[in-house]
Amino acid sequence: MKRVVFGAVLATILAVPAFAADQFLNILTGGTSGVYYPLGNALSSIYGKALPGARVTVQATKASVENLNLLQMGRGELAFTLGDSLTQAWDGVEEAGYKAPLKKLRTMAAIYPNYIQIVATADSGIKTLADLKGKRVSVGAPKSGTELNARAIFKAAGLAYSDMKVQYLPFGESVELMKNKQLDATLQSAGLGVSSLRDLATGDDIVIVAISPEVIAKTGDSAYIASVVPANTYRGQTVDVPTAAVRNFLVTHEGVPAELVYGMTKAMFTNMPDLLAAHSAAREIDPAHAAKSPIPLHPGAEKYYREAGLLK
C-alpha cells in the first residue's frame, strides 16, 4: 500500500515556488545520539539542494519540549516533536514545560512513531517494570519528550520516581554509564534501532522491559498506542517485546512563509531514499498519514497534501 501512495506522491511533482533569497531555515532536532539529529541532517541536505536561496542549519537540542518553545519564540523554522508533547504545548500544560498555550505552532507532517524502549543490562536483574524499584534509571533530559513519556508510563505502571534512583541523562551518556556499571536501566523514546541502544547491545547483554497494553491504557492518553519492538532489533533480542509507541511530528510555526513550507514538505516526500539512508526509522513515514495532526496544519503543507491527493 505504501508503494502505491508514494507513487501517487511522486506523480504530483511540480516546480517548487521561489521564495526570498537568504531565507533562514533552522531545523531543531534532539541529542546527537538519537534519531531526530541524523534525520534533521538528512533534511538539511535535501533542502540545501531542493530549495535555492535557503540557508539551512541544524541545531541539536533537548528535543520535543525545547523545540516547541523555540518555535513559538521564532527561533527555528522546523522541529521534531513527539505527539503528546505537541498536544500539551498547544494546550499550555505547565507541568509539561509550557508556560502558556503555544498557538503559533503549525504541523508540517506526521512522521514515524517513537517506541518507548526501556532497556536494562542483563546483570541488573531487571526483567519487569516492577523490578525497576530501587534501581538506577535514566529517564532522559528534564522535561524532554522522553522524560514526559517516562512519567506517563511509570505512573500508569504504579511507579513513582521516588521508587527509583532517577537520573536525567541524554541517550548517549546513559549508555556510557550502563557500560561502566553505574546505571541499571535507561528509558529511551526513539525510533527502532536507535544508535545508542545498538551501541549498548554490541558489548553488553540487554533486556528490553515489556510495557503491556494494560499499562498503556492506564495512561489515559490516546497518543500512546500498543506496539512491539520486533525480534532482532538489537543484538541478543530474540523475541518480540510489547511496548508503547507515540507518533512523531515535524512542526513549524505560522510565521514561516507558505511557499517555504510547501517546498519543504514536497522536498521531503520526493526524496525519501535520502531519509531512509540516514536512519531506518524513516521506513515508517507513511504519506497516507502525514496530514493527520492534533493541531492545525500549516497552509503550505496543506497545499502540498491537496495537490498530492493526500488530503481532500
How sure is the predictor about 219, in pLDDT bands with cuts at 50, 70 and 90?
very high
Q: What angle do CA 133, 161, 142 make, to 5 degrees?
A: 135
Asked whether the predicted pLDDT for residue 2 surpasses 50, the reply is: no
Is pLDDT above 80 for 11? no
More confident site: 221 or 127: 127
Beta bridge partners of 115: 190, 245
On the question of pLDDT at 13 being above 50, the answer is no
Residue with cell 541478543: 236
What tens digit of pLDDT does each residue of 280-301 get?
A: 999 999 999 999 999 999 999 9
Q: Residue 3: what residue type? A: R
Do residues 223 and 247 lie in contact, with contact meaning Cβ atoms separated by under 8 Å? yes
Estimate the share of the chain in helix, then strand, then coil, as percent rounded to the nearest 5.
40, 20, 35
pLDDT on residue 253 = 98
Q: pLDDT tens across 258-267, in order?
A: 999 999 999 9
Flag the least confident range among 15-24, 37-46, 88-97, 201-210.
Answer: 15-24
pLDDT at 21 exceeding the cut of 90: no
Look at residues 196, 192, 204 and name the one whose alpha carbon lies nearest to residue 236. 204
- How confident is residue 139, by pLDDT bands cut at 50, 70 and 90? very high
Work out the angle between the directed axes of helices 258-269 and 36-50 (0-180°, nearest 10): 110
What number is the average pLDDT over the span 149-178?
96
Number of other CB atoms surrounding residue 259 within 10 Å? 18
Structural domains in the chain plus CATH codes: 24-112+248-308 (3.40.190.10), 114-246 (3.40.190.10)
Lowest mean pLDDT across 3-7, 29-33, 112-116: 3-7
Nearest to 59 by CA among 37, 85, 81: 37
State residue 291's pLDDT score: 97
pLDDT in tens, 81-104: 999 999 999 999 998 999 999 999
Q: Are 50 and 79 in contact (CB under 8 A)?
A: no
Dihedral of the CA atoms 138, 130, 213, 189 (nearest 10)?
Answer: 10
At residue 19 the predicted structure's pLDDT band, cuts being 50, 70 and 90, is low
**What's the mean pLDDT in 239-254?**
97
State the pLDDT at residue 156.
98
The pTM of the full predicted model, rounded to 2 decimals, is 0.81
Phi, psi of 277 (to 5 degrees): -70, -25
